[in-house]
Structure 1
Amino acid sequence: MKVVALVSGGKDSCYAMMKCVQYGHQIVALANLMPVDDAVDELDSYMYQTVGHQIIVSYAKCMGIPLFRKRIQGSTRHQKLSYKMTPGDEVEDMYELLKEVKKKIPSIEAVSSGAIASDYQRLRVESVCSRLGLVSLAYLWKQDQSMLLQEMIDNGILAITVKVAAMGLNPEKHLGKDISFLYSYLHKLKELYGINVCGEGGEYETLTLDCPLFVHARIVLEEFQVILHSSDSIAPVGILHPLAFHLETKAESVSVGGCDKMNDLRHENTGLVYEVQAENSEGCMDAKESVADVTVLTKAADDGLQISTKKEDLAFSISCWLGASESSGLQDDLKGVLRKIEAELSGHNLDWRNVLYVHLYISDMNEFAVANDTYVKFITQEKCPSGVPSRSTVELPLPHVGLGKAYIEVLVTKNEEKRVLHVQSISCWAPSCIGPYSQATFHKNVLYMAGQLGLYPPTMTLTKGGAVAELELALQNSEAVAKSFNCSISTSSVLLVVYCSESIPSSERGKIQDKLEAFLKQIKSSSTKEGKLSKVLDHLSLYVLVPDLPKRALVEVKPLLYNVDDAETITEGKSLTRMGNQSFQHEGWHDTCINRCIVNGTICALVMSVTNETAVRLCSEFLSANRKSEDIQNLISERQMDRISRFCVYLLDKILAENSFFWEEIVSLRVYYPVSLHIPLDALSLLFKNALEELAEMHRQPIFNIIPVLGAGSSTTMDDLITCELFAQRT
Structure 2
Amino acid sequence: MSPTKHKVIALISGGKDSLFSLLHCLANGHEIVALANLYPAPSPSATTSDDGEGPDIDSYMYQTVGHSLIPLYEEALNLPLYRQPILGSALCTARDYAPSPSVPSTAAEGRGSAAPATADEDETESLVPLLQQVLLAHPDATALSTGAILSTYQRTRIESVALRLGLVPLAFLWQYPYLPPYAQTSLLSDMAALGMDARIIKVASGGLDEGFLGLNVADPRTVARLVGRMRRFGGGGGGAVLGEGGEFETLAVRGPGVLWRGKIELGGTEAMVGEGGSVVLRIKGARVVENEDGEEDGGLSSLRIPALLDDEFKMLWQRLRELDTENTTAARIQQSTPTQPGPPISLSETWITTQTPTALHISNMTSPTADLTAATQMYSIMAHLAFVLASHNLPPSSIISSTLLLRSMSSFTSINPIYGHLFTASNPPSRVTVACGDALPYGVEVVLSVVVDLRGEGGEGGGGLHVQSRSYWAPANIGPYSQAKSLRMAPLTAGEYQDGQGEGPREVFVAGQIPLVPASMEIIGPNDLKRAGLEVGGDKMGEFRAQTVLALQHLWRVGRAVNVQWWTGGVAFLAKCTEGEATARARVAGRAWRDLHRVLGEAGRGNSEDEEELDVWDLKNGVTHQPNANESADGDGRPPLPDSSIVQISSQEQSPTPPCIVVQVDELPRGAAIEWTSVGLADCSRIDFEEVSLSPGLPSYKTQVAGTDSCMVWSEIATPDRIWLVDHLLDHPDNSPSGQRGRQTTVYTSESLNLRWLKTTSAQIIPCRRLWDVDGSEIAASVLSRVW
TM range (shorter): 0.7 to 0.9
Of the candidates 306, 322, 326, which is equivalent to residue 370 of structure 2?
326
Q: After superposition, where does 1:223-242 map in structure 2 within 5 Å? A: 223-229=268-274, 236-242=278-284
Q: Judge which range, 92-101 or 411-420, deviates more.
A: 411-420
Is 1:430 matched up with 2:474? yes
2:136 equivalent among 97, 103, 113: 103
CA contact (8 A) 2:430 2:484 kept: yes
Deviation at 1:249, TM superposition (A): 4.7
1:209 aligns with 2:253: yes
In the alignment, the residues of structure 2 paired with residue 722 and residue 303 of structure 1 have an alpha-carbon distance, to the nearest angstrom, of 24
Query: 1:556 maps to what in 2?
Result: 675
Once the two structures are superposed, what CA deviation does each residue of 1:100-138 show, in whole Å capped at 9, x if it has no partner? 212221111111111112111111111111221222111
The answer to whether 1:487 aligns with 2:501 is no
Aligned residue in 2 for 1:535:
646
* Partner deviation per Cα, 1:376-430 (whole Å, 9 max, x = no partner): 222222xxx5x31111111112565314211100111211342211111112222
User: Hey, what's the Cα distance between the residues in 2 that align with 1:568 and 1:400?
Assistant: 36
Q: Match of 1:656?
A: 736
For 2:345 and 2:475, the matched residues in 1 are separated by 38
Deviation of 1:545 after TM superposition, in Å, equals 0.6
- Deviation string, structure 1 residues 207-241 (Cα, Å, up to 9, x no partner): 111112444211111322322225x7xx5523333
Counterparts of 2:356 and 2:559, CA distance in 1: 31
Partners of 1:257 and 1:718 lie apart in 2 by: 53
1:253 deviates by 9.5
1:494·1:538 contact (CA, 8 Å) conserved in 2? Answer: no
Partner of 2:285: 243
Give secondary structure in 2 for the equivalent of 1:421. Answer: coil
Return the offset for 1:304: 3.5
Secondary structure of 1:79 counterpart: coil
1:138 equivalenced with 2:171 (yes/no): yes
| Structure-2 residue corresponding to 1:502 | 576
Q: Distance in 1 between matches of 2:260 and 2:438?
A: 57
Kindly tell me: are residues 312 and 497 of structure 1, through their superposed partners in 2, closer, same or farther at Cα, counting changes over 3 Å? closer
Deviations 1:571-629 (A, max 9, x none): 699x9xxxxxxxxxx97xx15543433446644323333333x71xx6xxxxxxxxxxx
User: In the alignment, does 2:10 pair up with 1:5?
Assistant: yes
> Conserved in 2, the CA contact under 8 Å of 1:430 and 1:480?
yes
Amino acid of the residue matched to residue 569 of structure 2? Answer: L
CA distance in 2 between partners of 1:425 and 1:137 (Å)? 5
Q: 2:726, 2:783 within 8 Å by CA — same for their partners in 1?
A: no
Matched, 1:447 2:494: no
Find the aligned partners of 2:571 and 2:439 in 1 and give their Cα distance: 23
State the alpha-carbon separation in 1 of the partners of residues 778 and 41 from structure 2: 68
| C-alpha separation in 2, matches of 1:160 and 1:460 | 34
How far is 1:156 from its partner? 2.1
Code of the residue aligned with 2:423 in structure 1: it is I
Aligned equivalent of 2:595: 518
Q: Which residue of 2 is the match for residue 75 of structure 1?
A: 89
Q: In the alignment, residue 19 of structure 1 is paired with which amino acid?
A: H
Equivalent residue number for residue 287 of structure 1: none
Partners of 1:151 and 1:545 lie apart in 2 by: 43
Q: CA–CA distance in 2 between the matches of 1:424 and 1:323?
A: 31
Pairing 1:459–2:464 present: no
Alignment-derived partner of residue 785 in structure 2: 726
Question: CA offsets, 1:330-387, max 9 Å, x none?
Answer: 2111111111211122222223122110111111112322222222222222xxx5x3
> Quick one: structure 1 residues 657 and 403, their matched pair in 2 at CA, closer, same or farther if it must change by over 3 Å?
farther
Paired residue type of 1:254: E
Matched with 1:335 is 379
- CA distance in 2 between counterparts of 1:379 and 1:36 reads 35
CA distance in 2, matches of 1:606, 1:174: 56
Corresponding residue for residue 164 of structure 1: 203
Could you tell me how far apart the structure 2 residues matched to 1:538 and 1:602 are? 23
Instruction: Name the larger-Rg structure.
Output: 1
Contact 1:7/1:31 (CA < 8 Å) preserved in 2?
Answer: yes
Q: TM-score, normalised by structure 1?
A: 0.78
Superposed counterparts of 1:711-722, under 5 Å: 711-715=770-774, 717=776, 719-722=778-781
Q: Per-residue deviation at 1:436?
A: 2.0
Among 2, 8, 17, the alignment partner of 2:22 is 17
The alpha-carbon distance between structure 1 residues 159 and 328, as it changes in their structure 2 partners (threshold 3 A), is same
Could you say which residue in structure 1 is the equivalent of 2:298?
256
Hey, what's the Cα distance between the residues in 2 that align with 1:718 and 1:160?
A: 60
Residue identity matched to 1:159: A
Letter in 1 for 2:740: F
1:198–1:400 distance in 2 versus 1, CA, 3 Å: closer
Moved more, 302-311 or 17-26: 302-311
Verify the 8 A CA contact 1:321 1:404 in the aligned structure 2.
Answer: no
Partner of residue 178, structure 1: 216
| Aligned equivalent of 2:161 | 128
User: Partner letter of residue 143 of structure 1?
Assistant: Y
Higher RCO (CA 8 Å, separation ≥ 6 residues): 2
| Alignment of structure 1 residues 216-365 onto 2, 5 Å | 216-229=261-274, 236-249=278-291, 254-258=296-300, 304-305=346-347, 306-310=350-354, 314-322=358-366, 326-365=370-409
Among 451, 454, 457, which residue is 1:411 paired with? Answer: 451
Identical pairs, percent:
28
Q: 1:543 to 1:399 in 2, by over 3 A?
A: closer
Contact 1:51 1:241 in 2 (8 A): no
Q: CA RMSD in A?
A: 2.9
CA distance in 2, matches of 1:719, 1:568: 29
Question: What's the TM-score once normalised by structure 2's chain length?
Answer: 0.73
The reply to whether residue 57 of structure 1 matches residue 74 of structure 2 is no
Residues 1:336 and 1:66: Cα distance change in structure 2 (over 3 Å): same
Q: State the alpha-carbon separation in 1 of the partners of residues 657 and 604 from structure 2.
A: 16
Counterpart-to-counterpart distance in 1, 2:682 and 2:440: 39
Give the Cα separation in 2 of the matches to 1:70 and 1:439. Answer: 33
Contact 1:10 1:205 in 2 (8 A): yes
Q: Once the 2 structures are TM-superposed, how far is the Cα of residue 303 of structure 1 from its aligned partner?
A: 8.5
Residue 542 (structure 2) pairs with residue 468 (structure 1)? no
Query: Match of 2:746?
Result: 670
Distance (Å, rounded) in 1 between the aligned partners of 2:366 and 2:727:
26
Residue of structure 1 aligned with 2:192, choices 136, 153, 158 = 153
Closer/same/farther in 2, CA of residues 70 and 324 from structure 1, 3 Å limit: closer
How far apart in 2 are the matches of 1:393 and 1:94? 34
Residue identity matched to 2:411: E
Distance (whole Å) between structure 2 residues aligned to residue 241 and residue 318 of structure 1: 61
> Residue 723 of structure 1 aligns to a residue in which SS?
strand
Alpha carbons of 1:214 and 1:242: their partners in 2 closer, same or farther (altered >3 Å)? farther
What do residues 156-214 of structure 1 show as CA deviations (whole Å, max 9, x unaligned)?
2111111112224322x321111214111001112111351111111111111111244
Q: In structure 2, what is the Cα distance between the partners aligned to 1:412 and 1:460? A: 30
Structure 1 residues without counterparts, runs of 5 or longer: 262-301, 576-585, 619-640, 689-702
Cα 1:197–1:719 shift into 2, 3 Å: same
SS at match of 1:254: helix
> Does the CA-based 8 Å contact 2:69-2:286 persist in structure 1?
no
Determine helix, strand or coil for the equivalent of 1:451: strand
Query: Which residue of structure 2 lines up, in the alignment, with residue 580 of structure 1?
Result: none
Which stretches in structure 2 are left out of the alignment for 5+ residues? 1-5, 43-51, 101-119, 178-183, 304-343, 489-505, 526-541, 609-639, 648-655
Q: 1:92 aligns with which of 125, 128, 131?
A: 125
Verify the 8 A CA contact 1:110 1:136 in the aligned structure 2.
yes
Query: SS of 2:480's equivalent?
Result: coil
Bigger helix share = 1
CA distance in 1: counterparts of 2:250 and 2:561, whole angstroms: 27
Q: Tell me how far apart the structure 2 counterparts of residues 543 and 316 of structure 1 sit (CA, whole Å).
A: 27
Q: CA shift at 1:9, angstroms?
A: 0.7
Q: What's the secondary structure of 1:71's corresponding residue?
A: strand
- What is the CA–CA distance in structure 2 between the aligned matches of 1:53 and 1:182, rounded to whole Å? 24
